Structure 1
Amino acid sequence: MKKFDKDDVEKIYAKAKKLHDEGKYEEALAILHDMQIDNLPMEKRWAFYEAKGMCQIGIDKIREGVENLRNALFSPEGMPLLSQRRIASNYFINLHYIDGISDKDMFDAHTLYNQMFLKNIAFPHKKQAKMKLRIGYLSPNLMTHIVLNFAIQLFSAYDRERFEVYLYQTGGRHDEVSDWLMNMTDGWRDLSGLNAHEAAQKIYDDGIDILFDLAGHTEGGATLQICAYKPAPVQLCGIGWFDTTGLSAIDYFLSDNYCDPPENDALFTEKLIRLPHSHFCYTPPETVLKCKAEYHVHSPIVFGSFNNFDKITDEMLRTWKRLLQIVPGSKLLLKNVYRTIDRVERMKKRLLNMGFEKEQIDIRPGTASYLDEYMDMDIALDTYPYPGGGTTCEALYMGVPVVTRYGQRHGSRFGYSLLKNMGLGELTASSEEEYIRIAAALAGDRELLEGLHASLRTMMQKSPLMDARGYVRDVEAAYEKIWKEWLNS
């Protein structure tokens, strides 16, 4: 069997990476298939594992992909530190797609991250009272992105007598929304092209008092790598990330009483900030104004999910199959967030292989006008253990009731928090059996379905989920509280 030298591996890795970046995951895996790990130089094995893992994730083989990312992390010989940090963040994200990971195992995995920053030298900070607190928001997604639907009020409705706000864009992506944001706050900084230390220096030089990382381990954890230098004396994470960061430089994590009951303190390395209502404040996109929103109950009933297909585990599909069996003639509509047809075909194949009937399913790729298609379903089915956030809010705003299942950790309780804040706790389930029972009962009550579709938007607008003034007031009160805690520490 052929032995590969360092140059061979680098050429094959570069080719596989190019195919991965082009979305040609199966072609990349075919190239990697013949490379047996025992025949690779020790210092290149991590790269093989990472490439294979990311390609497997790309074709919805999440468990296999996560295992290979884990293999990469535990094959550190020859691995650059920046690669190790990136792989760790991708590993943490994809762990959340897998059912059956215990809360302790999830927490323990994240705590490994801090070990990758022990040699960092933090910026020094002098304690002093301020007339105005300077808040910095750090994100790769200061553009058209779902995270902005939850963060925009923090940029537009803040108290300018008590706070200054600076926005830090790290992703190198820019659109007309970015142009709009640039003129909204007291400062805008484009950090793309800078390394983590250089970016942290920019934030430090701006005199930021509280830095809010809106991304966490997404996008390879690039924002956390900046936070690791402690450019602000007080740092927190949340909104765009849904678990502990594991990084000691992050002091707080934004949450609420529904997402994190008291016992969840032990699942975070950060101190939890529990807002009195929702830690999400939803602002719908302007495209919703163009939607017709004409709904009538379907016969037979149509269940649906517009969540990322990566969130749909085999366990979830088996639950939905049982539900369709209980509700005679019912159908399942799945629409992906991505527009690629190959993902649609893979999902169809998964469903048929699991025993779904062809006439029961309607699988669609992502489209720009997807909001109109919420009218094609009667009941939205949330995913578990990684529920929807933006998709759940979109469904509710379009008048579609959502049935969600929740677990213990923060990342499994988005739907629970959203529905509880709307006064719809009866649509939340703590088990598979309860989830099926709630969805089946709702499907059997056509009058209730008509009523919910007619009233959900108004309910949402009057709830804490869209109370922008109350939300920003609660967050700003939290900022002042944690600033005082730092001054008095």
Structure 2
Amino acid sequence: MNSVHVENSNQPGIAVIMTDAIAFHQNGQLLEAIDAYQQVLALDPVNFEAIHSVGRAAHQMGQWSLAEDFLRAALSLRQDSIEVLNDLGLALLSQGKLAQSLDYLLCVMERSPDSPEAIFNVATIYYDLGNLDKAMQYCIKAISLQSNFLPAHLRIGMIHYKLDDLHRAQESFAKAYLIDPDNTDTLNLLAMHKIAQGRPDEALPYVTQVLSQHPEHEFANGLMRDITHNLHDRASTKEAYYNAGMIDLAEAIARDELAKNNSVENHNFLLKCYLASNKHSAHDYFEESRTWSKQHAHEELLPHPGEFKNDRNPDRRLRVGIVGDYFFNVIGIHTLYPFFVLYDHQQIELYCYNFGPDEDEIRPLVDHYRDINGRSDAEFCDLVRKDAIDIMLDINGRIRTPNYFEALLKQPAPIQVNWYNLPCTVGVKAYNYAITDDYCVRPEEEDVYVENIFRMPTGTICAWALGEPPAVPPPPFESNGYITFGCFGDFFKVNEEVLTTWAELLKRVPHSRLYLKSNNLRLVAERERVSDFFKRHGIESNRLLLEGMSQYNQMKKSYEWIDIGLDTFPYSSGSTTINALWQGVPVIAIEGNDWRGRSTAAVLAGCGLERFIAQDVTEYIDMAVSLAKDTAQLIELRANLAKHLTTSPQWQFEKFTRNFESRLRLIWQHWLQHSE
């Protein structure tokens, strides 16, 4: 009775204070509004509007726990209030109390079935819970009620983005932009998408627009840093030419620099040019590497085998070292980690010398883990000798930098093996063995190797563990009405002959498209150069999709937009081919004249796809044209190729591990026989 008496006796005063409180609230003066609402509550402790309004204002200020308390109090007064149920659900959502929030917001949606806002709030909860299917379902429902409902379009874009589907994310963000081209969230998400897609120049205008209005916007400033990092090419002139596939120009500069400074680094770059050039053969590469080694590798100073004090029991447990910097990169994770899990610890004592990102997952898998980041060549050599390594496996090799090549030139281990990265010769006698495969390196080609060759059977120098075959949609030609060819390989392999061949292929297949994705294409000047090349060959830019690289899972998802993969030549792909096949994309390749042209062919042969291995450019084009016409085969390949791949040698990890262990044992025994 007293509260009723107070309310009645002070009703005119309460009305005035509430009017002021509402005015403060509407003007964004939240502290003043809350103070005024509290004055009302001092006079009328159960005033529903004041309690509800304090909860709303507290939520707006980020005082979510306080907001929850007041909103629960308001709900106790009016349990049927949709507004309070909605506000309480949002306050709980802000605190991460997702299950509680969902209960309230579902109740709101049931009472307001025609409200896109209510439906979208439920979608938000499911999105935060990780139930993206449900979130998508409710976003679509909200849009069916209001086609230009911006938050739902943005959320659908984010769902696709979270699923690594950049193409469908782009469609949703573009729709949002048409609805409100000035919305900050829309602009930021468009910019984020363009950066992820590998076209940072197209992200710049969106971020610039946001920062012109909100200079301190944290997310936009982070995007601007990413754009700035990716927009400019920090490579030297020779590296820029090399990365663009303009190998002759890169080689000319490399020779000039080598004449001035005959360093290991300069010579290694020249050898990179030899490998990528269609003017040099494997024999040329061998001769160049040997000429340099005889002059600069000091092979006469290599230790005599008798200087190594390793126990010479042919059957004992072997101390095997493995040195490299990309255990943590995607290829290493899928090929090296499974070997670390499966190798026989009774036969091999494995030492991992990692100079890349530190990787805690390796430590429990190997017998000894050595972080050698920052160690000098001399310190590394001393460590290897102290560990008494029998066989050192170099997975970086001579060409991939950084490396410990100069340290390994001193041969700190009695047996040094070139394995994993490139199955070519290192060209120096400090490497006395190479592990290759029985497809890429033929017996008659061993004269271009310094090393003793030991081959892995069945055309693979490593095996892949990618889990269960992915669920992939039908080939894109079914929905877009044209064939899309594609290649996501490094652009240093895309020389002028390759581009000319692809242009001819596009002419032969009317309305077809070419999708290229490579780090080099993040640069607008490079995309323009490639577009101009195709235009000179009669192919307009609207038939090209050119992007820089994306994160691994986003890149894999992008294969859904390719019908037929195209390999490069004379330098073929390795992991690029594996990823394409795994996503259900068949790849056309040319079997090269030496190991560098056979990587893709080895994979294709291993999984029974020899019909896609051409002998020359003419047959390469004919095969691609024929496959483009055979839509039934494209549909079958898309559905079954990954499953088929799991039966190939590249997927038999247990067998690979046992074979690899046997090769290491054979190498050790061979060395013992020839080391006296």
Bucket of the pairwise TM-score, normalised by the shorter protein: 0.7 to 0.9
The answer to whether structure 1 residue 75 and structure 2 residue 287 are counterparts is no
Alignment partner of 1:187 out of 356, 368, 375: 368
The answer for the alignment partner of 2:541 in structure 1 is 358
The answer to whether structure 1 residue 323 and structure 2 residue 502 are counterparts is no
Cα shift readout 1:384-429 (whole Å, capped 9, x = no counterpart): 1111111100001111111111212211110111111111111111
The answer to whether structure 1 residue 218 and structure 2 residue 408 are counterparts is no
Answer yes or no: is the 8 Å Cα contact 2:521–2:546 preserved in 1: no
Output the CA distance in 2 between the equivalents of 1:345 and 1:61: 15
The answer to whether structure 1 residue 128 and structure 2 residue 312 are counterparts is yes
Structure 1 residue 55 displacement after superposition: 4.2
Output the CA distance in 2 between the equivalents of 1:453 and 1:111: 45
Q: Secondary structure at the match of 2:404?
A: helix
Alignment partner of 1:117 out of 297, 302, 310: 297
1:269/1:154 CA distance change after superposition, 3 Å: same
Structure 1: unaligned runs, 5 residues or longer: 1-21, 29-50
Structure 2: unaligned runs, 5 residues or longer: 1-228
1:316/1:161 CA distance change after superposition, 3 Å: same
Answer yes or no: is the 8 Å Cα contact 1:406–1:429 preserved in 2: yes
Structure 1 residue 292 displacement after superposition: 5.4
The answer to whether structure 1 residue 207 and structure 2 residue 388 are counterparts is yes
Moved more, 367-376 or 115-124: 115-124
The letter of the residue matching 1:229 is K
Q: Secondary structure at the match of 2:425?
A: coil
Q: What are the equivalent positions in structure 2 for 1:124-163 lying under 5 Å apart?
A: 124-126=307-309, 128-129=312-313, 131-163=316-348
Q: What are the equivalent positions in structure 2 for 1:79-478 lying under 5 Å apart?
A: 84-115=263-294, 116-118=296-298, 120-122=301-303, 124-126=307-309, 128-129=312-313, 131-171=316-356, 173-174=357-358, 178-220=359-401, 222-284=403-465, 293-298=472-477, 299-337=481-519, 340-342=522-524, 343-368=526-551, 369-478=554-663
Answer yes or no: is the 8 Å Cα contact 1:54–1:69 preserved in 2: no
Moved more, 107-116 or 236-245: 107-116
The letter of the residue matching 1:311 is K
Answer yes or no: is the 8 Å Cα contact 1:197–1:229 preserved in 2: no
1:25/1:394 CA distance change after superposition, 3 Å: same
Moved more, 221-230 or 261-270: 221-230
Runs of 4+, deviation exceeding 4 Å? 22-28
Rg comparison, structure with higher value: 2
Structure 1 residue 473 displacement after superposition: 0.8
Answer yes or no: is the 8 Å Cα contact 1:89–1:221 preserved in 2: no
Structure 1 residue 163 displacement after superposition: 0.9
Answer yes or no: is the 8 Å Cα contact 1:234–1:251 preserved in 2: yes
| TM-score calculated relative to the size of structure 1 | 0.83
Structure 1 residue 350 displacement after superposition: 3.3
1:26/1:364 CA distance change after superposition, 3 Å: closer
Output the CA distance in 1 between the equivalents of 2:241 and 2:632: 44
| TM-score calculated relative to the size of structure 2 | 0.61
1:326/1:137 CA distance change after superposition, 3 Å: same
Output the CA distance in 2 between the equivalents of 1:26 and 1:277: 41
Output the CA distance in 2 between the equivalents of 1:90 and 1:433: 32
Moved more, 379-388 or 211-220: 211-220
Output the CA distance in 2 between the equivalents of 1:237 and 1:202: 20
Q: How many aligned residue pairs are there?
A: 435
The letter of the residue matching 2:440 is C
Output the CA distance in 2 between the equivalents of 1:24 and 1:65: 22
Answer yes or no: is the 8 Å Cα contact 1:302–1:379 preserved in 2: yes
Cα shift readout 1:197-251 (whole Å, capped 9, x = no counterpart): 2212111211111111111123446232222121211111121123111010111
Answer yes or no: is the 8 Å Cα contact 1:399–1:453 preserved in 2: yes
The answer for the alignment partner of 1:34 in structure 2 is none
Output the CA distance in 1 between the equivalents of 2:231 and 2:260: 26
Q: Aligned-pair RMSD on alpha carbons?
A: 2.4
1:199/1:23 CA distance change after superposition, 3 Å: farther
Q: Secondary structure at the match of 2:458?
A: coil
Q: What are the equivalent positions in structure 2 for 1:24-39 lying under 5 Å apart?
A: none
Cα shift readout 1:428-486 (whole Å, capped 9, x = no counterpart): 11211111111111111111111111111111111111000110111111111111111
Output the CA distance in 2 between the equivalents of 1:222 and 1:87: 14
Structure 1 residue 112 displacement after superposition: 3.0
Structure 1 residue 318 displacement after superposition: 0.8
Answer yes or no: is the 8 Å Cα contact 1:244–1:269 preserved in 2: yes
The answer for the alignment partner of 2:87 in structure 1 is none
1:54/1:87 CA distance change after superposition, 3 Å: same
Structure 1 residue 153 displacement after superposition: 2.9
1:23/1:65 CA distance change after superposition, 3 Å: farther
Q: Secondary structure at the match of 2:659?
A: helix
The letter of the residue matching 1:308 is D
Structure 1 residue 358 displacement after superposition: 1.8
Output the CA distance in 2 between the equivalents of 1:214 and 1:148: 13
Cα shift readout 1:325-364 (whole Å, capped 9, x = no counterpart): 2222221111114673434344333333443222221112
Structure 1 residue 27 displacement after superposition: 8.4
Output the CA distance in 1 between the equivalents of 2:508 and 2:246: 29
Q: Secondary structure at the match of 1:218?
A: coil
Q: Secondary structure at the match of 1:96?
A: helix
Output the CA distance in 2 between the equivalents of 1:296 and 1:53: 39
Structure 1 residue 261 displacement after superposition: 1.3
